[in-house]
Chains A and B, each alone.
Chain A
């Protein structure tokens, strides 16, 4: 027996035979993050203990990050709360690498936002860089040319010394990677709040465009097709977790410490993008998948499972950067810039010619087989023999306990009103000082120090970018057909009411797309929460997903995909629930987009929508009073839809000289941004808002009531525009006139020279981080 055993494991590799023979060998399932019942289930599926390679695969694929085991039951509603009409333009829905939306003229777009939060805290530069790289590969995998990126960033308090470390690393990582890829960065968000100390959120969004016929799916369904790994070599990136297996399997061989972060090479990714696009054009790939989290484990099992087929793979053929890698490590490695293609035998020669042209390395790992089983060999030894579906798709699903937070009622009762927080209504000096304090506060001040480090020109198709409300790019050079994207999340509102908060984020992103002149079409999301093992966090998650799904149903736009990031917490303290919502819009001709600021003098400024006394959770309550409590603003999605329709119609008729959404810091912020966008002054009066809507001056300036937009309209279009608003029942009020005075005058309050405003608005962030 001893002799046989020695023969079956000559290299120390744990084979399937060995696993069958040594059922009682202790395995580090716990250290790999599996629960006892999960490990038992793996044994039940296989009818034996897993080999260490299989254990590595299951543990990573059944992790929260890959399996969505805590969120799955809630994410289902994005696919259920939909009407047939909402699906009309949906070519690929949830579950693929990214959703695909038909935008007309034979064009489709695919877009998605994903988190890279934890890696970006450990190593901000590489974490953020590889976050961009990963989402871009997801888009590429669908057969699309990536056409833009955006970033949604949340950092800790500006005064905390660690914040500067994270900000510098993240911003330069995004700049380094995104710029080098040649993708315009067209917008995003930056928020500072102490709740993100130690848990920064680094979400990255990418959008790509493709012709309908170029759509690619991640599946391997034709027996005999080759399984090709190409791109960068496989190294020891991001496999910190599996080192436990190495130390279990070997006595002393194998490096003891492996880096937990991945290192990105944007040049390799740029070459990979062009190479893949040429492969698609030559029609030589039957299926394709990028290697991101869980690397080869994910790519092989998902491709086979999606294709209802199997695969036979020779792992020793993987090209390695480091020859000491163990089979388990190769399966888990998260080395960047790698793709797996399923290539029909007849196309192999053409495939190889193209990858060689781009000097991209490849290796032929094996073939697709009919039997729905994944066999992975290490030389002559079989180390994996599993049904791929059990790895990729039939992972555990949890209905975790949910509990209404003990603090929630108290938080909601602690409103701006109940506190009697000081309002400077009658004191113009104080009120003007509050305005200045708010617009120069880190969250409201200009983010150009950050966004100027990103290339927004490359591609030559950028029609709107920061600081505009949405980013817009042209898709068709012939017709001008284009898309726009806006993302939003308000963690403070979500903390007060996650259901409402998610709807508010949706409403704001939807409105931001509409003010650019585009028609909102589809939704993606990145749901950033604390630990799902905390029932109060799980309640927040349940509420937020319900709010988002209900909101999408009400607006009639589908969720096409998304991402969940749990465990964003330090000790027991979770971040504010931060569901980032991205809305995609379509515009027939980007030449009709609406600028966000004022360009011409003598235009009338109109406020659309009504203002309520809604200061709970607002920027005003945060900056002036450091307070968070009460109830977030009310959302009226029917009104948002009507408002979007009006803007779209007015844009089509060319009636709007500008449009800007009102959200954080209300009218005050919108006015400042509108004058500074193109340096055009204005005279504004707010007293009529107070009179009509029965609110005080603090509310007129700082309330964050939803469904509001300021537009500027040329005198010649005045009557037509006001008529349009009245016909559609959108409240409209003239609140000012643009002028060449070089000032923003708010009547009966204060006059701000634009130069002072600009200097103050622009100085804050460089002073903190420059």
Chain B
């Protein structure tokens, strides 16, 4: 299995996402923002960072990159795409997912181990979780406040598109505590927290059993492998 990891200028967590892909047992293929070539990958990760310096709006300039035109096309045909943090912002700016992300309610960048509830497991990226499983994933962002119109929120909730919700405190003022979403088809998932930072014992979030031993993020990448094998 080949999973593409996109690098835009200003992308930061591309090497981490590639490591997560490898730990999950797939081959990581690096994709360059200026190339429309997806190198025949089976799925794509849009990693975190500050693409194009977050200038104009987070993810707005990246959404215009040549590689995104191709990703948008293929995503609409069912290619699994995971957007993490800045990648989520890119998905929203590309209209692959609805709503928008604005400055955290307390105005500060926040980095912490965040509790999440997995509320939808019928996606390419969450099928290995238990429904309503509670997981801990590092969160780190300055503009992670999820926002949408009342009508849109109602639709998201009604159709069960809310995939992750913050638990143990809303860190950034996101509406309805929304941490992540899926599209109708379930192949596109975006979230603010960083699953690629919870894949390797010793370097993840703290757990009750040992320091930095949390690996809840690994199931995102195992899920996509599972869905690809069973596709």
- Interface, chain A (partner B; CB < 8 A): 172, 175-176, 179-182, 265-268, 270-271, 358-359, 452-463, 474, 477, 590-591, 595, 599, 678
B194 touches A457 (CB 8 A): yes
Q: Give the contacts of B1-42 with A (CB-CB under 8 A).
A: 9-10, 12-13, 15-16, 19
Bound CA span A361–B161, Å? 44
Across the interface, do B10 and A271 meet the contact criterion of CB distance under 8 Å?
Answer: yes
**Besides the contacts A180-B10, A460-B200, A599-B209, what 9 more A-B pairs have beta carbons closer than 8 Å?**
A176-B109, A179-B50, A265-B53, A266-B53, A358-B9, A457-B138, A461-B203, A477-B19, A599-B211
Q: CB distance A180 to B16 under 8 Å?
A: no
Minimum CB distance partner of A180 in chain B: B50
- Taking CB atoms and an 8 Å cut-off, the chain B residues in 94-119 that contact chain A are 108-112
Query: In the complex, what distance in Å separates the CA atom of A458 from the CA atom of B196?
Result: 10
Whether A459 pairs with B15 at a CB distance below 8 angstroms is yes
Residue of B nearest to A172 (CB): B108
Assess the B109–A179 pair: CB atoms within 8 A: yes
**Cβ B52 vs Cβ A267 within 8 A:** yes
Do A678 and B50 have beta carbons less than 8 Å apart? no
Can you show 17 pairs from A to B with CB atoms below 8 A apart?
A175-B142, A179-B109, A179-B140, A180-B54, A182-B13, A267-B52, A270-B10, A270-B12, A271-B9, A452-B111, A453-B109, A457-B138, A457-B197, A458-B140, A599-B209, A678-B206, A678-B211
> A359–B108 Cα gap in the complex (Å)?
30
Residues of A within 8 A of B9 (CB): 267, 270-271, 358-359
Which residues on B are within 8 Å of A, measured CB to CB?
A: 9-10, 12-13, 15-16, 19, 48-50, 52-55, 108-112, 138, 140, 142, 194, 196-197, 199-200, 202-203, 206, 209-212
- The CA-CA distance from A605 to B209 in the complex, in Å, is 19
Q: What CA separation (Å) do A539 and B194 show in the bound complex? A: 51
Q: Which residue of B lies closest to A184 (CB)?
A: B111
State the CA gap A39–B223 with chains docked (Å). Answer: 71
CB-based closest 6 A-B pairs: A267-B53, A182-B12, A460-B16, A457-B197, A180-B50, A595-B211
Q: Could you tell me if B212 and A458 are in contact, using CB atoms closer than 8 angstroms?
A: no
* Complex: chain B residue closest to A268, CB-CB: B53
Q: How far is the CB of B28 from chain A (nearest CB, A)?
A: 13
Q: How far is the CA of A462 from the CA of B196 in the complex (A)?
A: 13
A447 to chain B, nearest CB (A): 13
* B48, B54, B212 pick with most chain A CB within 10 angstroms: B212
Quick check: A182 and B110 within 8 Å, CB to CB? no
Contact B142 A452 (CB under 8 A): no
- Which of B53, B54, B142, B202 meets A590, CB within 8 Å? B202
Closest to A360 in B: B9
Docked complex Cα distance between A142 and B176 (Å): 48
Specify the chain A residue showing the minimal Cβ separation from B53: A267
A384 vs B227: C-alpha distance in the bound complex, in angstroms? 67
Alpha-carbon distance between A317 and B52 when the two chains are bound, in angstroms = 27
CB-CB < 8 A to B50: which residues of A?
179-180, 266-267, 270
Contact: A463 with B53, CB < 8 Å? no
Closest Cβ–Cβ distance, residue A581 to chain B (whole Å): 26
Q: Please determine whether B140 and A457 come into contact, CB atoms closer than 8 angstroms.
A: yes
Determine the residue in chain B with the shortest Cβ distance to A183: B12
Min Cβ gap A680→B in Å is 10
Q: Given the complex, which residues of A lie within 8 Å of B196, measured CB to CB?
A: 460
Contacting pair A460 B197 (CB below 8 A): yes
**Contacting B111 at CB < 8 Å: which of A176, A271, A453?**
A453
Q: B-side binding surface: helix, strand, loop or mixed?
A: loop
Known interface pairs A267-B50, A270-B10, A270-B50. Does A460 touch B15 (Cβ–Cβ under 8 Å)? yes
Could you tell me if A267 and B200 are in contact, using CB atoms closer than 8 angstroms? no
From known contacts A266-B53, A267-B52, A455-B140, infer whether A462 and B109 are also in contact, taking CB-CB under 8 Å: no
A-chain residues with CB within 8 Å of residue B48 when the two chains form the complex: 458
Which residues of chain A have C-beta atoms less than 8 A from B52's C-beta?
267
Find chain A residues with CB under 8 A from B211 CB: 595, 599, 678
> Do residues A458 and B12 form an inter-chain contact, with CB atoms below 8 A?
yes
- Give, as a whole number of angstroms, the nearest-CB distance from B145 to chain A: 16
- Interface pair B49/A182, CB less than 8 Å apart: yes
CB-nearest residue of chain B to A270? B10
| Min CB–CB distance A583 → chain B (angstroms) | 22
Contact B202 A591 (CB under 8 A): yes
Tell me the smallest distance from the CB of B221 to a CB of chain A, in Å: 13
Q: Which chain A residue shows the least CB distance to B19?
A: A460
Determine the residue in chain A with the shortest Cβ distance to B205: A457
Report B-chain residues with C-beta under 8 Å of the C-beta of A175: 108-109, 142
A551 to B203, CA, bound (A): 34
Contacts of A595 in B (CB 8 A): 211
Contacting residues, chain B, for A462 (C-beta < 8 A): 203
A590 to B200 CA separation, bound complex (whole angstroms)? 13
Select from chain B the residue with minimum beta-carbon distance to A596. Answer: B211
* Known contacts A460-B203, A590-B202, A179 near B194 by CB under 8 Å: no
Taking CB as reference atom, which chain A residue is nearest B112? Answer: A452
Residue of B nearest to A178 (CB): B109
- A266 to B52: give the CA distance in the assembly, Å: 10
Hey, which chain A residues are within 8 Å of B210, CB to CB? Answer: 599
Q: A458 to B16, Cβ gap below 8 A?
A: yes
A455 touches which of B55, B111, B199 (Cβ 8 Å):
B111
Question: Which B-chain residue is minimally distant from A589 (CB atoms)?
Answer: B202
Most buried by A among B16, B109, B196: B109
Within 8 Å CB of A678, what residues of B? 206, 211
**Complex Cα spacing A459 to B11, Å:** 12
User: In the assembled complex, which residues on chain A have CB atoms less than 8 Å from the CB atom of B54?
Assistant: 180, 267
> Which of A455, A462, A463, A590 has the most chain B CB atoms closer than 10 A to its own CB?
A455
Please indicate the chain B residues that have their CB under 8 angstroms from the CB of A461 in the complex. 203
Chain B neighbourhood of A271, CB < 8 A: 9-10
A453 nearest CB across to chain B (Å): 5
A455 CA / B112 CA spacing, docked (Å): 9
Chain B residues whose C-beta falls within 8 Å of the C-beta of A182 in the assembled complex: 12-13, 49
B213 to chain A, nearest CB (A): 10
Contact B203 A474 (CB under 8 A): yes
Is B111 in contact with A457, judged by CB distance below 8 angstroms?
yes
Cβ B203 vs Cβ A267 within 8 A: no
Q: Which residues of A contact B200 (CB under 8 A)?
A: 460
Cβ-defined contact, B202 with A463, below 8 A: yes
Q: Are B142 and A179 in contact (CB under 8 A)?
A: yes
Q: Nearest Cβ in chain A — how far from B53, in angstroms?
A: 3
**Which residues of B sit under 8 angstroms from A460, Cβ to Cβ?**
15-16, 19, 196-197, 199-200, 203
Cβ–Cβ contact B13 & A463, under 8 A: no
A-side contacts of B197, CB under 8 Å: 457-458, 460
CA distance A454 to B203 in the complex (A): 16
Which residues in B have their C-beta under 8 angstroms from that of A180? 10, 12, 50, 53-54
Residue of A nearest to B9 (CB): A271
Q: How far is the CB of B231 from chain A (nearest CB, A)?
A: 29
Residues of chain A within 8 A (CB-CB) of B209 are 599
Distance from A233 Cβ to chain B, minimum over Cβ atoms (Å): 15
How far apart are the CA atoms of A237 and B176 in the complex, in Å? 45
Known contacts A271-B9, A463-B212, A591-B202; is-contact A454 B108 (Cβ 8 Å): no
Structural contact, A454 and B111, CB atoms closer than 8 A: yes
Residue of B nearest to A468 (CB): B211
Chain B nearest Cβ from A587, distance in angstroms: 12
In the bound complex, how far is the Cα of B172 from the Cα of A453, in angstroms?
Answer: 13
Task: Return the chain A residue nearest B55 by Cβ.
Answer: A267
Chain A residues within an 8 Å CB radius of B111: 179, 452-457
Closest to B12 in A: A182
Report whether B16 and A453 are in contact in the complex, using a CB–CB cutoff of 8 Å.
no
